[in-house]
Amino acid sequence: MLFLPESHGRFTVGATTFKLPVSTKVLGTANIHWHGHSDGGPSVIPALQLDEIVFTAYYPADVKGSNIKKGLDWLLRSIPVYPNAPLLRQRPTASPERTQARSETRPSSWPLVIFSHGLGGSRTAYSQVCTRLASSGRVVLAIQHRDGSGHAFISLTTGPRLYVREKDLIWTSDDEKTMINFRQQQLAFRRHEIYLAFRSFKQLIQDGYQGLSHGLQSIDKKSIDWSSWSSDVDTKAVECDKDVLLAGHSFGGATVASKPYLRNVQRLIPAMQFTILSTDPPADVSAPIPVHKALILDPWLEPIPSPGPSPPPYGSGDTLPQLLVINSEKFSLWKDHFARLIGVVQAWEPEKRRVLTILHSQHESFSDFPLLPLVSRRAARIVMDRIMELSEAFIDGSVDTFVDETATREMEIRIVGKKPDGSPQRQLVGESKDHHLLMAPPKTNPAASDASIPLFKSIGLSQAKAAEAAKNAKSANVLRNLIVSYDLAEAHLDEKQATVVTALAGQLAKTESVEPSEQAFAVKAILQGKLKSVDQVNAAVKYLEISKAPINELEFDTECGVGFSITSEELYDAVTSYIRENSVTGWSNLGSVISGVKASPALRWANPLEVKNAVEKAFTETFGAKEAAKPKAKDPKKEKAPQPTATASEADASSSSSNRKPVFEEGFLGALHKPGENPQTRPELREQHLRATDGQVWTRFPPEPNGYLHIGHSKAIFVNFGYAAHHGGKCYLRFDDTNPEKEEARYFESIIEVVRWLGFEPWKITYSSDYFDQLYDLAIELIKRDKAYVCHCTQEQIKADRGEKISAPKACVHRSRPIQESLDEFKKMTDGYYRPKEANLRMKMDLTDGNPQMWDLTAYRVLDATHHRTLDKWKIYPTYDYTHCLVDSIENISHSLCTTEFIASRQSYEWLCDALDVYKPRQSEFGRLNLQGTINSKRKILQLVDEGYVSGWDDPRLYTLIALRRRGVPPGAILSFVSTLGVSTAASNIQIARFEQTVRQYLEGSAPRLFMVMRPLKVIIENVPDDYLVIVDKPFHPKNPQLGSSQIPFTRTIYIDADDFRLEDSKDYFRLAPGKSVGLFQAPYPITCTSCKTDSVTGEVTEVFCRLEDSGTPPKPKAYIQWVAEHASSGSPVRIDETRIFHPLFKSDNPLAAVPDFKADINSNSMEVIKGAMVEISFWPLAKRSIADALEEARARSAKSKAIPGAGSHGADTPEITPEQLVGKECVRFQGLRVAYLAVDSDSRLGALEEPSDVTPGFRQGDYLVLNRIASLKEDVGKGM
């Protein structure tokens, strides 16, 4: 007999098959023909008759000293396990001496896995999956389903039974007589089997083999070491009370992907009839299984009725398990099925779900069949290895790291031909030999949302609105549940009502505080016509969040404007009263009065147009008719850098438009606690904090000084500085300088400069090292409270103790050492007695908690490094996990705002503050900002720099903030971009195009416009004299006269762009060609081409000769082009040495998915250099004025900041950023008309910018002018004509 491949895990694997006789029970409405009774004729028996439960347990086995023969035979192979071997129970021993490392660790209780097989499978058909899980330290119960889905089994009452086919079925009811209907009944049958198996096994573990309640027997009458399955007084043999993993393949995937297996879901809406998804566990069987994770292998969802499976709404006490779906290539190419799968998993929170496809895998790749001896292929073994590596990474909580380190890419599907039936032949993109490639579905999958569109249209939404409603997974899930729960498809809603229901779903998706009964009340109000607008729905949800059932209908109607009415006379009286009470002075207050009247509680629900008309009428009668606005003077406008968020009004201005709430008052930021509302262990701590802060908002931006800031940091800067400023508070810039091995002085200076360049002035600049003495004293106190201990384990041992490859952590051997011993050892650490990694101070936290951040984190470690500030004073340095919360506490931070990757750290953050009984700030997490098609990793950017792909950290193709600054992106545009995205707990994964669009919008009204030709073509106007000169007065911006104007020469010789001339004319071409006229922007007359000169070798046009149409009635041009004139005495034109056009550095939106690494995705044509472009002569005064204005603004801002008592204070060793450092050549920005937005690059040498202000600027000897393209212009249809 040949063996299947060995598992090669840490533990030897045993296998024992159990059976559980149960009272016969018939489920479903189908019978089958049976040929097994005594008279030999056919008989009819129930198709789904439950009389016995059978499952095989795979587990770590104790085979030392035994003579058990290896091998469990089945079909053509033998499974490499030890049948009926005892469960491994012996525990490792370890010396308390720090020098003796333990050879292995095991969990105190083995974690439990329940596996459900697919059609044609069995308890042994997936032995590779089960044995590999068991060999890594788990007990796996592989259920043998007796529902007719396996290839064969022997029933306790009917004997041998085979796979049930549709032709075998005899229906006993009026049910739909289809195989799919039978599959749905099989799902219910399987659910009973799983619960009964779990209940009996749990009772065996709890009560022991001598207990009578479990009822389990050996299926083969062979001896079983029942005692090994019994729990000790202190230790359970198998953990059945928490963290169970459900797994299944194909039909088994449909079986286990079910909501009922979760805790605390008994109060869910019972109307959601999605087979096993939302029905409760069988009342006579078991309580819910405590599922922590669900591993679904290539699930087959067809038997589950649409639109499920999709978890119904759940309350704050309910949790969905983490979910990993591993698909085969075929099932991912099954378009409708895959769309449904994506629709299903979108019910899970994004951070709790993963769907991955293994390229070149088959549906059967998850079973043993491709690995059978004589038929096994290397490709099948590789696929199985990848399936198991991915599965174990998911179980261990490291799937994100695994995927990041594996060849992975976003899934792309290509149509490569047609099938014989004419349908499209679809193929996943990937190399044919790459069996390791994982493919994730696109982040936005239209097919997934398409599945919901017909349901949404059924309530009255148009196609467009239904498609829009399906885009957001969370609100779409709520909308689906509302439609099904309240039969809205049969409610005959009109489109307006359907829109209001959609708005309700959107609001409910943002809160967990509205119970099902309260949701029902809101839906009823919509159906009754009470809630007719989105504003009313928003008010209703806010009311229901704080007012629980039973609802006071009168109060609800008042809050939501139900039945509101007001006469025009009453409205006018209310407006005049408002004007009188608020001492309004005239028409300049019109906008604020309209807003104020609308905001008053009594008029909240008044018609906005009627309010506006009433206010204007009152103004006219009170202040007289409105006068026309006087034209503004054409004074040159100074370029304004973004204002520092020193006050709430300034923060508002930078973050919102006048017709919407500031970003700091809505969503995530609007829901933050008020100062003092964060809970404390003692009231005195709160009182001390409020006295120190005067009840203000105090925040901090705490970067690590080990790299340059990137675009993602701009959101954190905006949130922390902006939120404090909006509320009149203060924000620290605090350097987390606890790792001297990676910190460099250049990063400190760069970070301060970038923060101030963005327009923010820190209240104080501090360092974690400022508090090293206090932190050390607190560590001593922590040890004295028996909340910390010194550990001498190796790094590998610490990782193993904390649960590496094992689900539960184990206590360190040093954890119980006496307090005084830890104090003495900590003193040795401080005195330099130990080398790095020989000793660590670890916090004594909670190893029973499910959060790894509570598993005895390190507080101090030994580092042999010189600190940039404390030099060699310290031999030990605190960790981030220890330092961060305590320095927040010391600095009296009211709002510790960070990104969502620190959610798990919140618990340890609060634990440490409480353990030391110090003031505890409140940590709140927002989603980070990511730009697609970019890389922000310090290590990867350093590779690009070192290997010459980019010129440095400030290369304009990068998205570090110093690179964006050099490119010419205004700081205000970055803040505008962040503000418009809003702040929520969801990560913002934004396309580069959206960022560039924001930059364009910002520059549209503020950038002066200059004539510019990228590829100059000389034009000679023949009918004017050589000294012909007209000075043209040209505005810098046609719609913004405040930017001023310039005077440029128009002469006999001008230059146009080569693209604006064509030798061969055509009907659809309106620019210059032989015999054709064209207008010149701002020039007095059009020109007509009379002839041209070409190069005799290349045939390219070198000169064009034209006639100025300055006599008679000039022809009316159909197009205008830009130009620059040659005029030596004025220095026109300005010649540009280099114009650098930047394209995306990477070819795809996800460079990290490139194979073999991100560098394979680099765009070799990411920078284009054009030499010899020309720009109008007014560039020189504009450049000098731009630098002067920016410098004046920076100096004023610095002076204003220093004038505030206590503000801006910092140590003498903190880099001093001068106003001059905030102003660079990039401040010279303009729009090259019909070309692009451009800025001067730092490589430029411009002598005029170094001269006194009274010296006329111009070209100087040695000048070298380089321009960077900031962003392209919007598509200009006229240019193509």
Catalytic member of 302, 515, 616, 704: 704
Is 1269 one of the annotated active-site residues of the chain? no
Q: What amino acid occupies position 913?
A: C
Catalytic member of 102, 637, 938, 1279: 938
CA separation for the pair 991, 452 (Å, rounded): 25
Torsion angle defined by CA atoms of residues 603, 609, 610 and 616, in that order, rounded to the nearest 10 degrees: 100
Residue 744 dihedral angles phi and psi, to the nearest 5°: -135, 150
Task: Select from 1263, 1219, 1260, 1224 the least CA-distant residue to 1241.
Answer: 1224
Task: List Cα–Cα distances, 100 to 95, 103, 793, 799, 814, in angstroms.
Answer: 6, 9, 9, 16, 12
Residue 865 dihedral angles phi and psi, to the nearest 5°: -150, 150
Those residues whose C-beta lies under 8 Å from the C-beta of residue 21, and which sit 6 or more positions away, are: 51, 52, 156, 215, 217
CA separation for the pair 479, 505 (Å, rounded): 5
Q: Coil, strand or helix: which one is 1029?
A: strand
Is 938 one of the annotated active-site residues of the chain? yes
Verify cis geometry, omega within 30 degrees of 0, for the bond prior to 550.
Answer: yes
Task: Select from 116, 310, 100, 78 the least CA-distant residue to 197.
Answer: 116
Continuous segment of H or E residues that includes residue 978: helix 971-981
* Count of CB atoms situated within 10 Å of the CB of 80: 21
Sign of CA dihedral 331, 336, 341, 342: positive
* Count of CB atoms situated within 10 Å of the CB of 911: 21
Going through 478-517 in order, the beta strands assigned E by DSSP cover none
Is 1138 one of the annotated active-site residues of the chain? no
User: Please, what is the angle between helix 711-726 and helix 648-655, to 10°?
Assistant: 140
- What does the buried/exposed string (b/e) look like for 253-276 if buried means 16 or more CB atoms within 10 Å of the residue's CB? bbbbbbbbbbbebeebbeebebbb
Q: What amino acid occupies position 785?
A: R
- What is the distance between the terminal CA atoms of the chain, rounded to a whole angstrom? 79
- What does the buried/exposed string (b/e) look like for 190-204 if buried means 16 or more CB atoms within 10 Å of the residue's CB? bbbbbbbbbbbbbbb
Q: For residue 68, with 0-12 CB atoms within 10 Å meaning exposed, 13-18 middle and 19 or more buried, which class applies?
A: middle
CA angle at 432 for the pair 427 and 438, rounded to the nearest 5°: 75
Residue 1240 dihedral angles phi and psi, to the nearest 5°: -75, 135
Catalytic member of 354, 810, 928, 1009: 928
Residue 640 dihedral angles phi and psi, to the nearest 5°: -100, 125
Structural contact between residues 539 and 560, judged by C-beta atoms closer than 8 angstroms: yes
Continuous segment of H or E residues that includes residue 499: helix 495-508
Structural contact between residues 185 and 169, judged by C-beta atoms closer than 8 angstroms: no
- Look at the block and give the residue holding tokens 């070799």: 1164
Task: List Cα–Cα distances, 1067 to 158, 1061, 1071, 1090, 1118, in angstroms.
Answer: 87, 14, 11, 19, 12
- Look at the block and give the residue holding tokens 């259920």: 143
CA separation for the pair 328, 365 (Å, rounded): 8
Residue 1279 dihedral angles phi and psi, to the nearest 5°: -70, -30
- Look at the block and give the residue holding tokens 């007990």: 139
Beta bridge partners of 438: 358, 408
Task: Select from 778, 985, 743, 737 the least CA-distant residue to 889.
Answer: 778
Which residues are identified as catalytic?
A: 704, 928, 938
